[in-house]
Amino acid sequence: MSTRELASIRREYGQRPLTRASLQTEPLAQLELWLEEAIVAQANEPTAMLVASVDAQGCPDTRWVLLKNIVEEQLIFYSNYQSRKAEQFAANSHVALNFYWPELSRQVRLRGLVSQVAPELSDHYFAGRPRGSQLSALLSPQSQVVESRQFLEEQYRQLDTQWQDKTIPRPTSWGGYQVQVNEYEFWQGRDNRLHDRFRYTREGQDWSVERLAP
Ligand X SMILES: Cc1cc2nc3c(=O)[nH]c(=O)nc-3n(C[C@H](O)[C@H](O)[C@H](O)COP(=O)(O)O)c2cc1C
129 part of the interface to ligand X, by CB under 6 A: no
Compare residues 44 and 192 and give the one whose CB is closer to ligand X: 44
Question: Could you tell me which stretch among 15-23, 27-35, 76-84, 155-163 binds ligand X (CB under 6 A)?
Answer: 76-84
Give me the amino acid identity at 80.
N
Q: How far is the CB of 143 from ligand X (least distance, A)?
A: 4
Rule CB under 6 A: choose which of 77, 126, 184, 207 binds ligand X: 77
**Per-residue x/- marks for ligand X, 35-54, CB under 6 A?**
----------x--x------
Rule CB under 6 A: choose which of 28, 33, 63, 125 binds ligand X: 63
Compare residues 23 and 76 and give the one whose CB is closer to ligand X: 76
Q: How far is the CB of 101 from ligand X (least distance, A)?
A: 13
As a whole number of angstroms, the longest Cα–Cα distance in the chain is 59
Options 16, 157, 193, 211, the catalytic residue: 193
Rule CB under 6 A: choose which of 60, 64, 102, 172 binds ligand X: 64
One-character DSSP codes across the chain: --HHHHHT------S----TTTS-SSHHHHHHHHHHHHHHTT-SSTTEEEEEEE-TTS-EEEEEEE--EEETTEEEEEEETTSHHHHHHHH--EEEEEEEEGGGTEEEEEEEEEEEPPHHHHHHHHHTS-HHHHHHTTSSPTT---S-HHHHHHHHHHHHHHTTTSPPPPPTTEEEEEEEEEEEEEEE--GGG--EEEEEEEETTEEEEEE---
Compare residues 128 and 204 and give the one whose CB is closer to ligand X: 128
| Known catalytic membership, residue 193 | yes
Rule CB under 6 A: choose which of 18, 76, 85, 175 binds ligand X: 85
Half-sphere exposure (CA, 13 Å, Cβ side) for 171? Answer: 18
Which residues sit at the interface with ligand X, rule CB under 6 A? 45, 48, 63-66, 77-80, 83-85, 142-143
Q: Which residues are catalytic?
A: 193
